[in-house]
């Protein structure tokens, strides 16, 4: 039996509905670390979160201000384009919607470019960005987010491939048309639905 077949059989034994595993994926209990470049040096006293682009006025929050916001918890399955999926991950943080309601978005805005340290970016349609359950998370499975997984804050958008879930997030820019972010310029799909296997350009 192939690795993928065995892995799927394992899921059945665990009592996990096979329909939760997107095509071409295998499940793992590990939490692999994946990113381009190096882990940033994070300095919380000077850290900020900024929203700009098609807004009435840019907004800025400090780390204590973000940490003081009401939080929400989700449990979600995550799917990495490199083929691992992880079930029932627990996240807590600030709902994307909660930030959105404070920024004065202009009606021309259709997409966001999410920004992180080292110039890393990812593009998302607003509708997908604002899905209920999406978080700017600072907590993973009840513990402070680890540096390698995006400390102090990462985006979590579970319904798209995990490269959209930007680690070390520093804010986002509202834009009037879809534009490719970092991985999208380098061969990854503009949208990235794991259940449609939208991995690369042309998928
Ligand atoms: N800032 C930043 N965020 C990033 C990336 C990156 O290179 N830089 N890689 C993405 C990719 S490709 C994946 S699969 C996930 C991996 O998250 P993890 O290391 O917590 O598993 O982070 C995403 N977020
Ligand atoms: Mo990835």
136-188 pLDDT, tens digit per residue, is 999 999 999 999 999 999 999 999 999 999 999 999 999 999 999 999 999 99
Contact predicate 145/78, CB 8 Å: no
95 pLDDT tier (thresholds 50, 70, 90): very high
| Cα 102 to middle of ligand 1, angstroms | 27
The pLDDT value given to residue 94: 98
CA-nearest residue, atom 7 of ligand 1: 35
pTM over 0.85: yes
Q: How far apart are CA 59 and CA 37, in angstroms?
A: 28
| Cα 104 to middle of ligand 2, angstroms | 32
CATH number of 42-75+86-196: 3.90.420.10
| Cα 162 to middle of ligand 1, angstroms | 7
Of the chain, the percentage scoring pLDDT greater than 90 comes to 100
Contact predicate 26/85, CB 8 Å: yes
């Amino acid at each position: 039996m192939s690795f993928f077949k065995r892995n799927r059989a394992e899921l059945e034994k665990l009592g996990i509905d096979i329909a939760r595993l997107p095509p071409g994926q295998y499940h793992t209990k590990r939490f692999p670390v994946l990113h381009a470049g190096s882990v940033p040096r994070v300095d919380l006293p000077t850290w900020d979160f900024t929203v700009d682009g098609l807004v009435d006025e840019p907004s800025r929050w400090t780390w204590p201000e973000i940490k003081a916001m009401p939080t929400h918890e989700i449990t979600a399955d995550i799917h990495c384009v490199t083929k691992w999926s992880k079930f029932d991950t627990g996240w807590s943080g600030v709902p994307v919607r909660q930030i959105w309601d404070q920024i004065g978005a202009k009606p021309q805005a259709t997409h966001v470019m999410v920004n992180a340290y080292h110039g890393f970016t990812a593009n998302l349609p607003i509708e997908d960005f604002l899905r209920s359950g999406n978080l700017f998370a600072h907590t993973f499975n009840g513990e402070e987010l680890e540096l390698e997984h995006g400390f102090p804050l990462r985006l979590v958008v579970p319904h798209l491939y995990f490269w959209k879930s930007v680690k070390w997030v520093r804010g986002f820019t509202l834009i009037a048309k879809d534009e490719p972010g970092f991985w999208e310029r380098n061969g990854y799909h503009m949208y990235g639905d794991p259940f449609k296997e939208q991995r690369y350009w042309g998928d």
